Structure 1
Amino acid sequence: MTINPYPLKFKPEMKERVWGGRALEQFGLELPEGPIGEGWMIGDHPNGTTTVLGGPLDGLGLDEIRERYGREWFGSKGFSEKNGRFPLLIKLLDCNDDLSVQVHPTDSYEGLPGGELGKTEMWYILDAKPGAKIIYGLKEGVDRDALQRAIDEDRVMETMQEVEVKAGDAFYIPAGTVHALCAGVVVAEIQQNSDTTYRVYDYKRPGLDGQLRELHVEDSLNVIAYEGAGATRMSTDGASPGSWLTIAESPYFLVDKGIVRGPWELAVSPESFVILVIAEGAGSISWGDGRSQPVKAGECFLLPATLGSCTLDGELTVLRSLVP
């Protein structure tokens, strides 16, 4: 049976985290009990695969869609060449407490688990309490030996660069960049489809099981880009209605911010799917012969590469991601 392409919305996979909270409920998402730190909104990974909500593909996992419709729906660039999976993972994060100080490897790191990719990512700050901050790279002049000494002497935080954040800020975090979200922020994260994280420091904090969480000091020291990996940040306040503002660009994803104020047609190329993250507001998305559905903040949609085009309407702030 031929299935006409349509915007795919998924049932999120919710992840309990020691640093999580309940803030994702503000988007109308159903959370299980406990501190929920991550909502995997669009995922095709052994640690979390999302399933379609609604339409002819209702109930199918993203992995099943990949197997059935392959390059036709994801586009000629829409696959990881290394493991065949969907190339991106889309999350919403609620940081009720500080995350561990961490770093991610590149695709070429020899210590990667089998089948895993490296992890380059970007953050868009959806909400931030006054004075909220993140850790974003090492201070100038900190090399491997200096960081090793700081770890041995329990003064890791002295080597870290802190940045205050506000809603609308965007951060590009290439693999090799030391980083940590801190308490008081809610974030949309677009990343390579990977779940590999190396913890440098975790505040001597017990995990959900009451035990100290594992650190990965040697791997961290190996993969950190001490001279910088090309991390960039920007305020996106300059985004204007009806045009796309590029806020992150990498070999793995291109992310733009758009402001919708009335009907706005969006083209989809046969080369790549498009992912839409609704950051603010409410409205609708329409496609094909006049089919449409409402959209609101906190929802994420996968537009198949064969969709051709769709139209956004309403008052919305949208993040658009695709494979360049």
Structure 2
Amino acid sequence: MKPYPIHFQPDFKHRVWGGRALEEFGYEIPEGHVGEGWMIADHANGTSTVTNGELKGLGLDEVREKLGAEWFGAKGASAGNGRFPLLVKLLDCNDDLSVQVHPGNDYENLAQGELGKTEMWYVLDAKPGAKIIYGLKDGITRSEFEAAVQEDRILDTMMSVEAEKGDSFYIPSGTVHALGSGVLVAEIQQNSDTTYRLYDYNRPGLDGKPRELHIEDSLNVIGFGKAGATFMKTMDAAPNEWLELAASPYFVVEKGVVTAPWNLSTTPESFTLLIACEGSGSLEWADGSLAMKPGDCFLLPATLGGYTLSGSQTVLRSYLP
């Protein structure tokens, strides 16, 4: 089978903080509060399904079993826990997400087969005044933080910033964080679904009951003073040049503003992921082309070789370091 860019049908997730904004990308989403679209997913809790080409109808897990050793690249075929190593999501934050933290790969209480979770966010849109929490204030110690949790003043310990379209956040494991109401975000992360909640605004979940908190696990994994989260503005990215947003041991993410045909290539080491953020254009390769619109996510096999991005569009590119 000749390699080609794979497009997926997302697996949508109901969340108490979700809304209906993912409909804006042209997807038919379930009724109710939909917070997450798992766009490129190969996890026990959610799998995306191929919508195009010879692999149409297969889940990413089936693609991995069939072609992963060849198409995912030398690094991609052996990374992570045997599944596809990354997870790409679109998040509609119609309400505040819980204040939370994710463990690293070495945390002893991880569920069997589960990875830690380092992630990054790119803000696709933000309502005026929307905020994002991305770490603790400088100098906060574990004992000070524990006291704040017990005294219900946890938010006083956080660094937050008003979010704007084009903002980028790198959130390593061990970072206390929360997306605020009014942001629409693309997320690239390790293939993990482990979240420890510290605070949930005393609200009920979708079942009417308070959602579980994980205080002890959270305190065990928080990187007090050394989590390493970063925040950057990106709207001045130069046309047809990659701007690095995040470089972690698990992924590299770059932003590209396409204004003229841009000839690129995959490498034998890793697959490439593309997320269309804004504008419109096309993705062309030796054997075909695909239209690109906001919300589209593509997996380019490592064996694809040359491809061209054209039109007037903003894209994110991710690959394994």
- 1:170-223 CA-to-partner distances (Å, cap 9, x unmatched) read 000000000000000000000000000000111111000000000000000000
Q: Please state whether the residue corresponding to 2:75 is helix, strand or coil.
A: coil
Map 1:124-139 → 2, pairs under 5 A:
124-139=122-137
- Does structure 2 retain, via aligned residues, the 8 Å contact 1:133–1:164? yes
* Alpha-carbon displacement from aligned partner over 1:92-151 (angstroms, at most 9, x marks no partner): 000000000000000000010100000000000000011111111111221111111111
Specify the alignment match of 1:30 in structure 2: 28
The answer on whether the counterparts of 1:117 and 1:194 sit within 8 Å (CA) in structure 2 is yes
The equivalent position to 2:76 in structure 1, one of 62, 75, 78, is 78
The correspondence for 1:311, drawn from 273, 287, 308, is 308
TM-align CA RMSD = 0.9
CA contact (8 A) 1:136 1:161 kept: yes
State the shift of 1:233 in Å: 1.1
| Gaps in structure 2 of 5+ consecutive residues | none
Gaps of 5+ in 1: none
Deviation sequence 1:59-102 (CA, Å, 0-9, x none): 01111111111221000111454521100000000000000000
TM-score normalized with structure 1 length: 0.97
Shift of 1:243: 0.7
Query: In structure 1, what residue type is equivalent to 2:300?
Result: L
Which amino acid is 1:126 matched to? Answer: L
Work out which of the residue numbers 283, 292, 298 in structure 1 matches 2:295.
298
Q: Separation in 1 of the partners of 2:77 and 2:146?
A: 37
In structure 2, do the counterparts of structure 1 residues 315 and 82 end up closer, same or farther at CA, with 3 Å as the change threshold? closer
DSSP 3-state at the match of 1:66? helix
- Residue 64 of structure 1 is matched in structure 2 by 62
> Following superposition of structure 1 onto structure 2, how do residues 109-188 of structure 1 map, counting pairs within 5 Å?
109-188=107-186
Task: Give the secondary structure class of the aligned counterpart of 2:144.
Answer: helix
- TM (norm. structure 2) is 0.98
Q: Secondary structure at the match of 1:76?
A: helix
The aligned length equals: 321
Percentage of matched positions with identical amino acids: 66
> Secondary structure, in 3 states, of the residue corresponding to 1:112?
coil
SS where residue 56 of structure 2 aligns?
A: coil
For each residue in 1:141-162, what CA deviation from the matched residue of structure 2 results, as whole angstroms up to 9, or x when unmatched? 2111111111111111111111
Question: Structure 1 205/223 Cα, relative in aligned 2: closer, same or farther at 3 Å?
Answer: same
In structure 2, distance between residues paired with 1:27 and 1:228: 37
On the 8 A contact 1:260/1:317 being kept in 2, the answer is yes
Instruction: Render the CA deviation track for 1:271-311: whole Å, top value 9, x for unaligned.
Output: 0000000000111111114x112110110000000000111
Q: Which residue of 2 aligns with 1:253?
A: 251
